[in-house]
Amino acid sequence: MATKEELLELLKDGVINYKEEQVKEAAQTAVDDGHPALEMIMDGLAAGMEVVGDLYERHEYFVPEVLMCADALYLGLDILRPHVPKSDSGAVAQVVIGSIQGDVHDIGKNLVKMMFDVAGWEVHDLGRDVPLENFVKEQLRTDAEVVAMSAMMTTTMLGMKKVIQMIKEKNPNVAIMLGGAPVTQDVANLFGADGYAESAGNAVQEGIKMIGRLREYEKKKAD
């Protein structure tokens, strides 16, 4: 019987080297043997994805490799996620994500989405070329804490400013995060967003930080 450490290693290695079967088998074994699913996700799958991120930054991996790693990761996630006890995932939040209207670039957005999935967030993916008002509607419907928008064109980027205004009007307690190649921290500030991340790697961290800031603000207001 494989030990927990061995299974974690199999998951990690399977993600890094996009071995789908290996990930599926290790995840199933972990479930059958009663290992904690959350730990398998975080220290196995997510740890593997972290290495993939490094390989990508170092130009050893390119987008196709990263996408294949993501496929392997999702196969493991699908098996493990249902076994994460509700209490474990209690702290985790919801995010509405999409590529803005007019923009069909979604490879980067999908990588960001994956990071939220891995981190155990409930992700509402609106896809791409998303009409501006749909971000607002979906946020209201789900009461998600975070709305994350992606734009890859300088021109479509302008739509994000409109969405921010629309959302903040209806619901100031939503943290809005922007990303995509033409977006910078300055742009995010200018548009009135709460957060920005340059790459998928730090998107989740930024999301958590934003929620933290919002909660603090809420508390102060209440005091």
Partner 1 sequence: MAELTPIERVKRFFNREPIDKMPFFTGMGMVLLPAIKKLGYNFPSVHRNAEKMARSAIESARMFNLDSVVIPYDMCMESEALGNEISLYEDSEDILYPTIPYKSWQEVDQVEITQDDIDNVMDKYPMNLLPEAIKIVKTEAPDLPVGAWQLGPFTQCGQTIELDKVLKAVFKQTDLVESILDKFSDMIINIGKALQAAGADFITLREPGVAADLLSPKTFKELIQPRLTRILAAWEPPKVLHICGSTDPLVEMMWQCVVDSGGQGVSFDIKNNLLETRKKLGNAAIILGNFDVFQLPCAEATTVEQAVEGIKTNIDGLVDAVWPGCDLWPDIKEENLKAIEKTAREYKTGPTPAVGRL
Element (H, E) at 208: helix 203-222
Residue 177 binds ligand B12 (CB under 6 A) = yes
Helices 47-57 & 107-118, crossing angle to 10 degrees? 150
User: Does 185 interact with ligand B12 (rule: CB under 6 A)?
Assistant: no
One character per residue 79-118, x = contact with ligand B12 (rule: CB under 6 A): -----------------------xxxxxxxx-xx------
Say whether residue 185 binds partner 1 (CB under 8 A).
Answer: no
Beta strands 146-150 and 94-99 are: parallel
Q: Does 198 bind partner 1 (CB under 8 A)?
A: no
The H-or-E segment that residue 99 falls in is strand 94-99
Give the residue, chosen from 2, 92, 181, 214, that forms a contact with ligand B12 under the rule CB under 6 A.
181
How far apart are the C-alpha atoms of 43 and 161, rounded to whole Å? 37
Return the range that interacts with partner 1 (CB under 8 A); candidates 32-40, 57-65, 114-122, 137-145: 57-65
CA distance 99 to 107: 10
How near is the Cβ of 144 to partner 1 at its closest, in Å?
24
Residue 71 is a binding residue for partner 1 (CB under 8 A): yes
Instruction: Please report how the helices 63-80 and 20-32 are oriented relative to each other, as an axis angle in degrees rounded to 10.
Output: 20
What separation, in Å, do the N-terminal and C-terminal C-alpha atoms of the chain show? 55
Contact in structure between 80 and 132 (CB atoms under 8 Å): no
Q: Site residues (CB under 8 A) for partner 1? A: 59, 62-65, 67-68, 71, 101-102, 104, 106-107, 110, 129, 154-155, 159
Q: Site residues (CB under 6 A) for ligand B12? A: 63, 102-109, 111-112, 148-150, 152-155, 177-182, 197, 199-200, 203
